[in-house]
């Protein structure tokens, strides 16, 4: 592997922290990740947890690098075992120079193991912090910086917990530093760390929505979408927005439509099952031409499926959700930055085209923390309900006035003396229900007309890698980094490889990508589902048949290793 030198100092290191739910695994993971980001490293977090509050086996994996890390890695370089089970389960995943950090009492650590005398350092309650101290020492991080991160994490709310954590951290750090003879510092120091943020996909969606001027968010809790609502709720008061936990997802989307009708840029967030309940509301948004941003964070289905794992199997569902024919756009961010910027794009599209716009993510991206450059929030304008500067409003005002673009000037109820009438029935231009079938025809055409304008704003897929490749890897959504890394690994082995990532999967504009498909010798579609949904969609839209597919549907994220293995290119 090119990213490994002969000594033990590496440019990229994969740290897996494993334990039971309730052992403070995520706490330690987040503190370590944040400390790494503050020390100037790039990180890529993959979380794996079971659908339970206590017990079970969970992991928090941080792939850390001096340069940008863009994908997860399966081989473990540093295994931090908070319980014995973790050692057993992950021993076989260790890389050749891998190191285990575990309590001295744990069995089965036959590889190189740093055995922590946890009992001597602290009580069971702080065992996670004792492990953290040892990891921090091995990585060569600044102990003061980590102590400050612990302090920030527990804050002033729990001073006694913060104090004990600080003490245990210090002692364990000192103890591990004393073992330095046996273990070398694992990561080179970043000389001049620039300011970075640590953020996951859901947080970036929430922040993107805040900068867009979201004023209403309604949701029913559902993994893995819930933390979008929690993030927005934390800032609702300061930002003057309303976050309402609805009685069900049907209410959530209908509330968002009501709020949007009243002028509040609105968003909902859910996962497959919850979205199934929202589907009639999607159709309502289209018929009433009410802007709404709908985040669907995918998880393995059918039905309840695997609630805390990842999958990309709802593309066809989201594409076809809602009875009747109407335009929509589906954005599929590949990175945490993408979550931020595409959420802004979604609000722009929703307000402009007055209808449902989707952001399709998944559990992997929702929970994946990354290091990113701060956003230039001062330069980002909020997105306001679209209305012409000087509206040429007919009297009486017609909410659904027929125009060349299909987009009608939108006024808001109560702000002027004009009356706004929106209807889920087929309606006349002034919004009242009608059974005039000539009007019906004109209204169908008016709504579909907006599709042309939506097409004009489609984000083209991003091509990377070599020209005229022997192998073109197609992907969409969260697998972008893994596919790009797999591609560059193959290129470095002399196979001309390129990638094409779709951060918008609907509408598809064939002129954007057919050239790439045609010039490649072989095209392989990489997707987190069992049937190749993007490949099939491309065939339907263009006739181009992508026969070769790398599909993952075991609930785990797509990794570079997985892609190579499936392509029979094992490292």
Q: How far is CA 196 from CA 30, 62, 67, 386, 460, in A?
A: 15, 16, 13, 34, 28
Q: Does 247 bind another protein (CB under 8 A)?
A: yes
Q: Does 284 bind another protein (CB under 8 A)?
A: yes
CB of 416 to another protein, least distance (A): 7
Find the part of the chain contacting another protein (CB under 8 A) among 1-9, 262-270, 436-444, 494-502: 262-270
Q: Does 155 bind another protein (CB under 8 A)?
A: no
Q: Does 154 bind another protein (CB under 8 A)?
A: no
**Cβ distance to another protein smaller for residue 333 or 528:** 333
Instruction: Return the residue of 86, 122, 202, 218 that touches another protein, per CB under 8 A.
Output: 218
Q: Which long-range contacts does 410-418 make (Cβ < 8 Å, 24+ apart)? A: 410/289, 410/354, 410/385, 410/386, 411/387, 412/261, 412/262, 412/263, 412/385, 413/261, 413/262, 413/263, 414/262, 415/263, 418/393
Instruction: Return the residue of 189, 262, 462, 491 that touches another protein, per CB under 8 A.
Output: 262
Q: Does 378 bind another protein (CB under 8 A)?
A: yes
Q: How many CB atoms lie within 10 A of CB 532?
A: 20
CB of 452 to another protein, least distance (A): 27
Q: Say if residue 320 is exposed, middle or buried (CB neighbours under 10 Å; 0-12, 13-18, 19+).
A: exposed
**Cβ distance to another protein smaller for residue 137 or 321:** 321
Q: Does 213 bind another protein (CB under 8 A)?
A: yes
Q: Does 394 bind another protein (CB under 8 A)?
A: no
Encode burial over 17-46: b for 16+ CB neighbours within 10 A, e otherwise.
bbbbbebbbbbbbbbbbbbbbbbbbbbbbb
**Cβ distance to another protein smaller for residue 383 or 505:** 383
Of how many residues is the chain composed? Answer: 571
Q: Does 439 bind another protein (CB under 8 A)?
A: no
Strand locations in 104-223 (E): 113-116, 197-199, 216-219
Q: Does 269 bind another protein (CB under 8 A)?
A: no
- Whether the Cβ atoms of residue 509 and residue 455 lie closer than 8 Å to each other: yes
Q: Dig out the tokens for 269 from the structure.
A: 């967030």
Q: Does 227 bind another protein (CB under 8 A)?
A: no
Q: Does 112 bind another protein (CB under 8 A)?
A: no
CA 36/CA 53 separation, integer angstroms: 27
**Cβ distance to another protein smaller for residue 126 or 275:** 275
Q: How many CB atoms lie within 10 A of CB 385?
A: 20
Q: Does 142 bind another protein (CB under 8 A)?
A: no
Q: Does 207 bind another protein (CB under 8 A)?
A: yes
Find the part of the chain contacting another protein (CB under 8 A) among 84-92, 100-108, 248-256, 562-570: 248-256
Using CB under 8 A, which residues numbered 291 to 350 contact another protein? none
- Whether the Cβ atoms of residue 20 and residue 57 lie closer than 8 Å to each other: yes
**Cβ distance to another protein smaller for residue 404 or 417:** 417
Q: Does 195 bind another protein (CB under 8 A)?
A: yes
CB of 147 to another protein, least distance (A): 17
Adjacent-strand bridge partners of 370: 44, 199
Report cis status (omega within 30 of 0) of the bond before 507: yes
Q: Give the chain's radius of gyration (CA, Å).
A: 26
Q: Does 452 bind another protein (CB under 8 A)?
A: no
Q: Does 402 bind another protein (CB under 8 A)?
A: no
DSSP letter for each residue of 138-172: HHT--HHHHHHHHHHHHTTT-HHHHHHHHHHHHHH
Q: At what angle do helices 127-139 and 25-38 cross, to 10 degrees?
A: 30
Find the part of the chain contacting another protein (CB under 8 A) among 48-56, 110-118, 189-197, 444-452: 189-197
CA 69/CA 71 separation, integer angstroms: 6
Find the part of the chain contacting another protein (CB under 8 A) among 58-66, 138-146, 252-260, 461-469: 252-260
CB of 259 to another protein, least distance (A): 4
Beta-carbon contacts of 44 under 8 Å, excluding residues fewer than 6 positions away, are 62, 63, 64, 69, 70, 71, 72, 368, 370, 481
Instruction: Return the residue of 264, 286, 365, 498 that touches another protein, per CB under 8 A.
Output: 264
Q: Does 258 bind another protein (CB under 8 A)?
A: yes
Q: How far is CA 410 from CA 20, 158, 404, 428, in A?
A: 53, 50, 15, 15
**Cβ distance to another protein smaller for residue 267 or 556:** 267
Using CB under 8 A, which residues numbered 20 to 59 contact another protein? 38
Q: Does 192 bind another protein (CB under 8 A)?
A: no
**Cβ distance to another protein smaller for residue 180 or 419:** 419
Binding site for another protein (CB under 8 A): 38, 195-199, 203, 207, 210-211, 213, 215-216, 218, 235, 238-242, 244, 246-248, 250-252, 254-264, 266, 280-281, 284, 288, 374-375, 377-378, 382, 385, 412-425, 431-433
């Amino acid at each position: 592997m090119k990213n490994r030198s002969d000594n033990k100092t590496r440019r990229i290191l994969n740290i897996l922290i494993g334990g039971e739910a309730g052992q403070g695994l995520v706490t330690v993971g987040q503190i370590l990740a944040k400390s790494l980001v503050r020390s100037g490293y790039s990180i890529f977090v993959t979380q794996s947890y079971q659908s339970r509050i206590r017990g079970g086996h969970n992991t928090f994996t941080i792939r850390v690098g001096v340069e940008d890390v863009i994908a997860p890695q399966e081989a473990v370089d540093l295994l931090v075992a908070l319980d014995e089970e973790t050692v057993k389960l992950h021993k076989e995943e260790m890389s050749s120079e891998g190191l285990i950090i575990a309590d001295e009492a744990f069995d089965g650590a036959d590889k190189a193991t740093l055995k922590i005398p946890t009992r001597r350092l602290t009580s069971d309650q702080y065992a996670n912090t004792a492990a953290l101290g040892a990891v921090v020492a091995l990585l060569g991080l600044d102990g003061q910086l980590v102590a400050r991160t612990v302090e920030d994490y527990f804050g002033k709310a729990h001073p006694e917990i913060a104090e004990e954590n600080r003490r245990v951290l210090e002692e364990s750090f000192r103890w591990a530093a004393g073992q330095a003879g046996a273990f070398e510092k694992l990561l080179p120091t970043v000389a001049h760390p620039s300011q970075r943020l640590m953020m996951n996909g859901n947080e970036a969606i929430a922040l993107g929505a805040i900068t867009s001027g979201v004023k209403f968010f309604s949701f029913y809790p559902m993994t893995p979408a819930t933390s979008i609502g929690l993030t927005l709720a934390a800032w609702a008061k300061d930002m003057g927005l309303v976050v309402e936990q609805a009685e069900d997802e049907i209410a959530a989307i209908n509330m968002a439509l009501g709020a949007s009708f009243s002028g509040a840029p609105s968003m909902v967030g859910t996962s497959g099952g919850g979205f199934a309940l929202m589907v009639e509301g999607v159709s309502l948004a289209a018929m009433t031409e009410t802007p709404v941003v709908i985040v669907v964070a995918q998880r393995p289905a059918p039905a309840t499926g695997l609630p805390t794992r990842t999958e990309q199997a709802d593309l066809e569902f989201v594409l076809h959700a809602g009875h009747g024919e109407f335009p929509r756009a589906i954005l599929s961010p590949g990175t945490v930055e993408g979550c931020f910027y595409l959420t802004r794009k979604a609000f722009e599209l929703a307000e402009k085209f007055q209808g449902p716009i989707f952001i399709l993510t998944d559990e992997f991206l929702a929970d994946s923390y990354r290091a990113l450059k701060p956003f230039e929030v001062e330069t980002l304008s909020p997105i306001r309900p679209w209305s012409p500067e000087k509206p040429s409003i007919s009297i009486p005002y017609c909410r659904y006035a027929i125009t060349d673009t299909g987009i009608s000037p939108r006024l808001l109820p109560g702000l002027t003396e004009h009356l706004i009438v929106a209807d889920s029935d087929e309606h006349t231009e002034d919004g009242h229900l009608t059974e005039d079938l000539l009007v019906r025809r004109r209204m169908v055409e008016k709504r579909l007309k907006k599709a042309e304008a939506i097409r004009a704003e489609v984000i083209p897929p991003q091509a990377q890698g070599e020209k005229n490749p022997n192998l073109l890897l197609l992907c969409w959504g969260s697998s972008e980094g893994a596919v790009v890394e797999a591609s560059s690994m193959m290129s470095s082995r002399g196979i001309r490889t390129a990638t094409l990532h779709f951060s918008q999967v609907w509408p598809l504009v064939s002129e954007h990508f057919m050239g790439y498909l045609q010039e490649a010798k072989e095209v392989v579609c990489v997707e987190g589902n069992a049937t190749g949904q993007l490949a099939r969609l491309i065939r339907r839209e263009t006739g181009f048949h992508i026969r070769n597919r790398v599909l993952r549907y075991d609930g785990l994220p797509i990794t570079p290793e997985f892609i190579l293995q499936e392509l029979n290119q094992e490292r």
